[in-house]
Amino acid sequence: MPRVRRSETDQQLVDEHGPDFSEALARGLRVISAFGAERRLMTLADVARVVDLPRATVRRALYTLDCLGYVRSDGRLFQLTPKVLSLATAYLASNSLSATLQQTVEQISAQLNEACSAAILDGDDIVFIARAGPTRMLGVGVDVGYRIPAYCSSMGRVLLGGLDEKDLAAFLDRIRPEPLTPHTLVDRAALQAAIHRDRERGYSLVDQEAEVGYRSLAVPVRRYDGRIVCALNAGANADRVAVDRMVESFFPVLRDAATVLGPQMI
């Protein structure tokens, strides 16, 4: 059988992790991750282009995922199936942090009558691991497992504030900030200053940088040794909740909840 060409990404991963690293598994996960809100349906060629792998390699990965029930196809277009959710369910079921946070965000949401979330840092994004909100909510489609860039989100900036200066500098050098809205902060020096400011004051308030018309405030949740484990936030329609009110009303509720959660974190 001919040797499969390694992409630059694959070669870097093998060099970094050694001979026990499973390229086949990594490629399969990359294929799953290639699908998203903007790429719900893709051809084989589309997937190969996104993951930067030969078509033959991607064909085998898609065939395997199809056999296992994670992907389906009409013969030309591929899409994920609900079975992919079982991967997230396994994480949530095995992680007591998610269950604890879900109860907390539900309580905060009921108290503030606004959407409340908890997230962790995963690479250059944040991932929602708990989410609750009233019937009236902004951001349809935002739920557990949803990802957004860390640089333009209140929870992201709180979590980035937990990095040491070397890792924060590496993050800022690595990312390519895009203006998701006219308000998005994309200058790296300004982002660094905002993260430092938020670290000092104990919260981050992001005003319409990720979504026009939506602002949110986040606080860090620290475990016993001071390390930030996750972030909590509450958000609201910018026309309905002013910045001053958000600081005065939302911050104390989130801060108190984070203080209670801290000793429960591991």
| pLDDT tens string 218-262 | 999 999 889 999 999 999 999 999 999 999 999 999 999 999 998
Q: Would the pTM of this model clear 0.85, i.e. be above it?
A: no
Query: What does DSSP assign to residue 262?
Result: G
Range 95-264 has CATH code 3.30.200.20: no
pLDDT, one tens digit per residue, over 35-68 is: 987 888 999 999 999 999 999 999 999 999 999 9
Q: What local confidence, expressed as pLDDT, does residue 139 receive?
A: 44
Q: What local confidence, expressed as pLDDT, does residue 220 receive?
A: 97
Cβ-contact 51, 34 below 8 angstroms: yes
Q: What local confidence, expressed as pLDDT, does residue 248 receive?
A: 96
Residue 8: pLDDT over 60: no
- pLDDT above 70 covers what percent of the chain? 87
d(Cα 128, Cα 118) in Å, to the nearest integer?
6
The domain locations on the chain are 8-84, 95-264
Per-residue confidence band for 263, with pLDDT thresholds at 50, 70 and 90 = confident
Residue 6: pLDDT over 70: no
Higher-pLDDT residue of 172, 75: 172
Measure the CA dihedral 124/140/204/236, to 10°.
Answer: 170
Cβ-contact 127, 119 below 8 angstroms: yes
Residue 121: pLDDT over 90: yes
Average pLDDT, the chain: 87
Cβ-contact 178, 115 below 8 angstroms: no
Q: What local confidence, expressed as pLDDT, does residue 140 receive?
A: 43
Q: What local confidence, expressed as pLDDT, does residue 96 receive?
A: 62
CATH of domain 8-84: 1.10.10.10
Q: What local confidence, expressed as pLDDT, does residue 144 receive?
A: 79
Question: Residue 102 corresponds to which amino acid?
Answer: Q
Q: What local confidence, expressed as pLDDT, does residue 138 receive?
A: 42
d(Cα 115, Cα 134) in Å, to the nearest integer?
7
Q: What local confidence, expressed as pLDDT, does residue 85 receive?
A: 75
pLDDT, one tens digit per residue, over 181-232 is: 999 999 999 999 999 999 999 999 999 999 999 999 999 999 988 999 999 9
Cβ neighbors of 68 (< 8 A, separation 6 or more) are 83
d(Cα 260, Cα 104) in Å, to the nearest integer?
10
Q: Are strands 71-73 and 78-80 parallel, antiparallel or unpaired?
A: antiparallel
Residue 95: pLDDT over 70: no
Residue 143: pLDDT over 80: no
Residue 2: pLDDT over 70: no
Query: What does DSSP assign to residue 250?
Result: I
Per-residue confidence band for 94, with pLDDT thresholds at 50, 70 and 90 = low
3-state secondary structure (DSSP) of residue 220? strand
